[in-house]
Chains A and B, each alone.
Chain A
Amino acid sequence: QVQLQESGPGLVKPSETLSLTCAISGGSITSSYWNWIRQPPGKGLEWIGCVYYSGRTYYNPALKSRVTISADTSKNQFSLKLTSVTAADTAVYYCARFLGPYTNWFDPWGQGTLVTVSS
């Protein structure tokens, strides 16, 4: 079955760019949409956006100006870039799959990676 694993720096300085990668195993990146979701400590879930292997993307309107999500079919992985980060971007970042906008339940999820924004 499909498994997802997030990777990237656990600490990012304010005003810099947060970069994470999600490696897909047990399945192909061409089969689904691939998502990033975050959860600030002690708070709820926030959808960041998703990408299809073709490059089609959907983004959270509140984050759209700072977010880029891209797919790398050669490495079977996808990535998140979030620019101009502040302390408010400190969160556990999850990657997850869904089949499409109208079949949009997230399954599976990665285990999550904590990213702290601090100088």
Chain B
Amino acid sequence: QSVLTQPPSASGTPGQGVTISCSGSSSNIGSNTVNWYQQLPGTAPKVLIYSNNQRPSGVPDRFSGSKSGTSASLAISGLQSEDEADYYCSAWDDSLNGHVVFGGGTKLTVL
């Protein structure tokens, strides 16, 4: 059972938009920033969004992040087939001397 809660799956058709949620608590998302990772099949994860809403260079602006209270969201607009991947959220958790927590991951299917 992951500390951060994500829907196990999401889907959309090419060109559509999709949003993936990540729910936590006051000790993690409620007091720290959220990061998002994309994991393509057979590869290591790659940072997609950091510090709630910042995109590393090279990440298309179709990807955006937001945070409100103890929840965060990743929005993908203009879906493309290459967006089919697993997406994970993470945050620092201040409890128990501090540690990183991940969401369980969301498998995005582009129909």
Contact = CB atoms under 8 A, between A and B. Distances in A.
A94 B50 contact: no
A47 B100 contact: yes
Given A44-B2, A106-B37, A109-B44, A101 B92 contact: yes
Contact of A44 (B92, B97, B100, B103): B103
B46 A109 contact: yes
Contacts of A110: 44
Contacts of A46: 102
Q: What is the predominant secondary structure among interface residues of chain A facing chain B?
A: loop
A45 interface: yes
B33 interface: yes
Given A45-B45, A109-B45, A104 B102 contact: no
Interface in B17-39: 32-33, 35, 37
Given A102-B32, A102-B33, A45 B47 contact: no
Interface of B: 2, 32-33, 35, 37, 44-47, 50-51, 56, 88, 90-92, 96-105
